[in-house]
């Protein structure tokens, strides 16, 4: 297997941050695991080419920004929509649905109903705990716009999640 050279420490960074990046990507895509993996890989490929410049500074911030922008771009593509398949994918049995899995599914389903910008703003603000200025920088928009995206996203999530837990009948 041919080794990729020219980026010392890149593999270590990718191995250390893979899980966290995958979780962010999964939140950004509204729970789409395959798409999240594709996004993380594409972001890391872009990071590899920028590694000599970024390695000493803030590779985490760089790859996060790339991830957010890729997620926003991929959400605009039509072909990310549902595609017919011959066999249904494996689903967890009702017995396997632990409370953590149920919560994650509920959260991801609610996030999937937000607009890509709102979703990115909410994830960066409430999962990554980034200040508004950095959220705006990652989204590539003014701080006021980023704040607006985050507040509207939270308001929508509040409504969706409260509807989900509302007792039926």
Partner 1 sequence: MDDFERDLSRLMRDTRQHTPYEAEHRQRLHAGIRARRRARMLWKAGGSAVAVAGISVGLALLPGLLTRAQPPADHRPQPSTSPTVQVDTTPTTDAPDPSPTPTRPESTAPATTGGVTPSGTTSAPSDPTPSATPSTSRSTSAPPTPPPSPTPTTVPPSVLESEEPSASASIE
Q: How many residues in total does the chain contain?
A: 169
Per-residue contact track with partner 1, 85 to 124, x per CB under 8 A?
Answer: ---------------x--xx--xx-------------xx-
CB of 79 to partner 1, least distance (A): 19
CA 36 to chain centre: 7
Residues 6 or more apart whose Cβ sits within 8 Å of residue 136: 142, 143, 145, 146, 147
CB atoms within 10 A of CB 160: 17
Q: What angle do CA 90, 96, 98 make, to 5 degrees?
A: 125
86 vs 163 by CB, closer to partner 1:
163
Q: Is 8 in the site for partner 1 (CB under 8 A)?
A: no
**Site for partner 1, rule CB under 8 A:** 1-4, 11, 14-16, 18-20, 22-23, 27, 37, 41-42, 44-45, 48-49, 100, 103-104, 107-108, 122-123, 126-127, 129, 154, 157-158, 161
């Amino acid at each position: 297997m041919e080794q990729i050279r020219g980026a010392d420490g890149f593999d270590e960074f990718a191995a250390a941050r893979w899980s966290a990046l995958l979780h962010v990507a999964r939140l950004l895509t509204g729970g789409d695991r395959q798409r999240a993996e594709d996004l993380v890989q594409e972001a890391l490929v872009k990071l590899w080419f920028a590694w000599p410049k970024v390695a000493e500074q803030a590779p985490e911030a760089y790859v996060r920004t790339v991830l957010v922008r890729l997620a926003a771009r991929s959400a605009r593509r039509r072909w990310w929509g549902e595609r017919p398949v011959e066999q249904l994918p494996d689903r967890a049995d009702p017995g396997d649905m632990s409370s953590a899995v149920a919560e994650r599914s509920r959260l991801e389903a609610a996030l999937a109903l937000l607009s890509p910008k709102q979703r990115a703003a909410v994830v960066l603000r409430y999962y990554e705990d980034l200040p508004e200025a950095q959220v705006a920088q990652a989204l590539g928009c003014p701080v006021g716009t980023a704040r607006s995206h985050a507040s509207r996203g939270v308001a929508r999530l509040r409504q969706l999640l409260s509807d989900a837990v509302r007792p039926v009948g």
